[in-house]
Amino acid sequence: MTLPYVLVLVADPEQGTLPRDAIDIARNMVKGKNPVVLSAGEAVEIPCPAPAPGAPTIATIRATLARHKVDALLIRTRGRRKAVLVADMDSTILDGESLDEVAALAGVGDAVAKLTLDSMNGRLDFAESLLARVALLTDKPTTCLEKVWQNARLNPGARTLVRTMSAHNARTALVSGGFTFFTSRVAEVCGFDEHYGNEFDIENGRFTGKLAAPVLGPESKEEHLQRLLEERGVKASAALTTGDGTNDLPMLAVAGLGIAYKAKPKVRQMIEMQVNHSTLRAHLFAQGYPASVFVE
């Protein structure tokens, strides 16, 4: 008989192998069965019963395993593989904040980075913050955009996550509060089906300090998620969303599997599913994909 839950444990191979001690501790905490290896030294799943009253919470399990730098995700077995993926870009699929890096090359890096941090931590309204950041770029040359892209790096597992889900018939979308100059390129490199972002207003090779279209913010991310669900004819339980900032909270809260990926403190306080130590491959292990079927 299939148990209703699995506890998925994932380590970052760059930081060492998944410790046997961590597996044994976690298995005991959830009263689980024998672990099933998803990727040797990197990920296992432990079939387990539904949490009983008084049983350790996932927060307790996560805290217990933190010293081992192991992520723990408690997943319902039913409907585990998702039909829709909506991902944030900056600090999720892409390493770092692209607008901050543009601003740094334009000579206004410190001021923009502070506004970004305040926004991502929920201390400043996203739209207000974005308009203020873009205004600081007024009359700066746009040549810095290509320079930032040339130095951009994907987070480990980004291509694998998108291409593996696509290969298993999921619809994938990159929906960012960043800019389409970057989302278009990241989407092509990773294999996203769709991409959405904000638009710089540019004249004669210089930023005007304004946007060329309305702000794409938290509500827009959730709207794109709902649209994709309707187009696929599936419920929110069939969606995986991932992001790190407070502007991702609406789509993280709605999805059947909303994962806070190396997220800001306020996001970690509000979202139960978290990946804090390992790579984006953890999103595939959470869905029960073994590494043997990954599309690299």
Sign of the alpha-carbon dihedral angle for 283, 286, 287, 289: positive
Q: What is the pTM for the complete model shown?
A: 0.96
Q: How do 206-211 and 84-87 pair as beta strands?
A: unpaired
What residue segments make up the domains of the chain, in order of their start?
1-78
Torsion of CA 85, 86, 87, 89, to 10 degrees: 130
Residue 260 CA to residue 243 CA, distance in Å, equals 5
Q: How many Cβ atoms sit within 10 Å of the Cβ of residue 10?
A: 26
Residue 93 CA to residue 164 CA, distance in Å, equals 15
Instruction: List the chain pLDDT tens, one digit each, 296 residues.
Output: 689 999 999 999 999 999 999 999 999 999 999 999 999 999 999 999 999 999 999 999 999 999 999 999 999 999 999 999 999 999 999 999 999 999 999 999 999 999 998 888 888 999 999 999 999 999 999 999 999 999 999 999 999 999 999 999 999 999 999 999 999 999 999 999 999 999 999 999 999 999 999 999 999 999 999 999 999 999 999 999 999 999 999 999 999 999 999 999 999 999 999 999 999 999 999 999 999 999 98
Q: How do 5-11 and 70-76 pair as beta strands?
A: antiparallel
CA distances (Å), 92 to each of 154, 158, 241, 279, in order?
9, 8, 11, 10
Contact 157, 279 (CB under 8 A): yes
Known catalytic residues are 88, 90
* Alpha helices (H) along 233-271: 249-254, 265-270
CA distances (Å), 228 to each of 101, 173, 267, 290, in order?
31, 9, 23, 26
CATH number corresponding to 1-78: 3.30.70
Residue 232 CA to residue 238 CA, distance in Å, equals 10
